[in-house]
Amino acid sequence: MTLRELQQEFVRTLEVNHLDIPFLNGFKRTGSLCPEKGILVYKNNHKLGLTKTLIHTYPVLYRLLGEACFRGVAGLYIHHHHSESPNLEDYGGFFPEFIRHLALIETVPYLADVVELEWAVHRVMIGPDNVEFDWQTLSSVPLEKQGDLILYRSDNSFLIHSPFPIDRIFESNQVGFTGSDIVDLSEGAVFLYIARIGFDCKIRRIDAFSLRLLHCLDGRCALEQLPLRFCAEEDEYVEVTEKILAALPKLIREGCIAGYRLET
């Protein structure tokens, strides 16, 4: 067995839930510690490490569930989702969807959306810096070419729609928060743009039209084609075009659109 094969077998051993493992037959007892008990030390440390990672990534969920419940949920997640990256910052990406399928979501329906927001915040904080929109170069694009412009948001940004005010829940559960921690779930749906500006994560509320517009831009759609993405009827074209032209400058000013390129 090569060193690489040995390492791969060791990792697989940490992830299985039984000790009837042929891999352990190649190891000798050390004092009073047999190979099976020795590997349990590593398995326990492995699980503790991944649990600490989830606590670090999802502190709001940790606070909402409480330590005992969170550790129980984390244990189930770790059982079903192994770490596949050498960087622990990458672990936990499936947690929002995992939470969404748990029975407890029936009594706490907003929980999965809060977890999705936490993952977005985590990723933008460790992702690359956003760049400022280059207005000066944009002004040099000839008028006849402006319809070919393809605007796009930062790769290090997220869009989230939730029927609950999850940004309020997130904010009120931050360390050092001093405002009212009462959140009215009947406040209604929120449409959020999440990105990092400098060292701060910005969770910005936008309207439903802007969210849909930004999603269309994700498809790298030229400006002159954007209204066609919205219009079900031909007589809506002019109205939708006006709404797009009104929304775009505001989205650029607020940092929701990072740059552009010309369609070739």
The C-alpha atoms of residue 83 and residue 116 are separated, in whole angstroms, by: 19
Eight-class DSSP state of 178: -
Phi, psi of 237 (to 5 degrees): -60, -50
Residues 6+ apart with CB under 8 A from 199: none
The C-alpha atoms of residue 164 and residue 190 are separated, in whole angstroms, by: 7
The C-alpha atoms of residue 227 and residue 244 are separated, in whole angstroms, by: 8
pLDDT digits (tens, 9 = 90+) for 42-52: 778 888 999 99
Residues 6+ apart with CB under 8 A from 2: none
Reading the block at residue 113, the tokens are 């959306």
Phi, psi of 198 (to 5 degrees): 65, -120
Sequential pLDDT tens for the chain (264 residues): 687 877 777 777 776 666 556 666 667 777 677 766 667 777 788 889 999 999 999 999 999 999 999 999 999 999 899 888 889 999 999 999 999 999 878 889 999 999 999 999 999 999 998 877 888 888 888 888 888 888 888 889 999 999 999 999 999 999 888 888 889 999 999 999 999 988 889 999 999 999 999 998 886 788 888 888 777 665 678 888 889 989 998 998 888 998 888 876
Greatest CA separation for the chain:
83
Got the DSSP string for 122-143? HHHHHSPPPPPP-HHHHTTS-G
How far is residue 173 CA from its own chain's centroid?
18
pLDDT of residue 233: 60
The H or E element spanning position 152 is strand 149-152
Domain ranges of the chain: 1-108
- Residue in the block written with tokens 């999440």: 194
- Residue in the block written with tokens 């809506």: 236
How far is residue 37 CA from its own chain's centroid?
37
Instruction: Determine contact, residues 67/132, Cβ cutoff 8 Å.
Output: no
